Amino acid sequence: MGSSKPISPFRLSSLLRSQNDPSLAFQIFLNPQNHHRYSILSYDLIITKLGRAKMLPQMELILQQLHNDTRHRVPEPLLCHVISFYARARLPSRAIQTFLSIPSFRCTPTLKSFNSLLNALLTCRQFQTITHFASRLREFGPPNPCTYNILIRSCFFQGRTDRALELFDEMRLTNIRPDKVTFGTLIHGLCKDSRMHHAFGMKKLMIEEFKLKPCVSVYTNLMKGVCEIGELHRAFEIKDEMERNGLRLDVVVYNTLVNALFKAGRKDEALRVLEEMKESGYHWNSVTCNVMIGEFCRQKNFQEAYRILDGVEGVKPDVFGYNVVIGWLCKEGKWTEANDLFQDMPRRKCVPDVVTYRTLFDGLCRWTQFREAAIVLDEMLFKGYVPHSKSLNEFVRGLCREGNFELLSTVLSGLASRGELCNEGIWNVLVSVVCKQEKLAAEPFEIFKALAVS
- Give per-residue pLDDT as tens, 195-212: 999 999 999 999 999 999
Question: Is the domain of 392 the same as that of 374?
Answer: no
Residue 195: inside a domain, yes or no? no
Given a contact cutoff of 8 angstroms between Cβ atoms, the answer to whether 215 and 180 are in contact is yes
Instruction: Report the chain's mean pLDDT, rounded to a whole number.
Output: 90
Residue 157: inside a domain, yes or no? no
Contacts (Cβ under 8 Å, ≥6 apart) of 406: none
- Per-residue pLDDT at 402: 82
Residue 242: inside a domain, yes or no? no
pLDDT above 70 for 438 = no
Question: Is the domain of 289 the same as that of 370?
Answer: yes
Question: Is the domain of 316 the same as that of 370?
Answer: yes
pTM of the model: 0.81
Question: Is the domain of 297 the same as that of 374?
Answer: yes
288: amino acid identity, one letter: T
Q: Determine what percent of the chain is predicted with pLDDT higher than 70.
A: 89
Closest CA to 219 of 182, 193, 195, 245: 245
pLDDT above 90 for 67 = yes
- Per-residue pLDDT at 64: 96
The total number of structural domains in the chain stands at: 2
With bands split at pLDDT 50, 70 and 90, how would you rate the model's confidence at 440? very low
Residue 81: inside a domain, yes or no? no
Residue 341: inside a domain, yes or no? yes
Domain edge (last residue) among 359, 380, 401: 380
Give the CATH number of the domain where residue 310 resides: 1.25.40.10
Between the CA atoms of 271, 273, 278 and 283, what dihedral angle is there, to the nearest 10 degrees?
-90
- Per-residue pLDDT at 443: 55
Residue 131: inside a domain, yes or no? no
Domain edge (last residue) among 333, 348, 380: 380
Question: Is the domain of 394 the same as that of 372?
Answer: no
pLDDT above 80 for 65 = yes
Question: Is the domain of 360 the same as that of 444?
Answer: no
Residue 207: inside a domain, yes or no? no
Residue 11: inside a domain, yes or no? no
Q: Classify 352 as helix, strand or coil.
A: coil
Question: Is the domain of 376 the same as that of 392?
Answer: no
Residue pLDDT, tens place only, 152-199: 999 999 999 999 999 999 999 999 999 999 999 999 999 999 999 999
Domain edge (last residue) among 352, 380, 408: 380
- Per-residue pLDDT at 437: 46
Question: Is the domain of 368 the same as that of 395?
Answer: no
Question: Is the domain of 375 the same as that of 399?
Answer: no
Residue pLDDT, tens place only, 227-265: 999 999 999 999 999 999 999 999 999 999 999 999 999
Q: What range defines the domain where residue 301 resides?
A: 283-380
Question: Is the domain of 369 the same as that of 412?
Answer: no
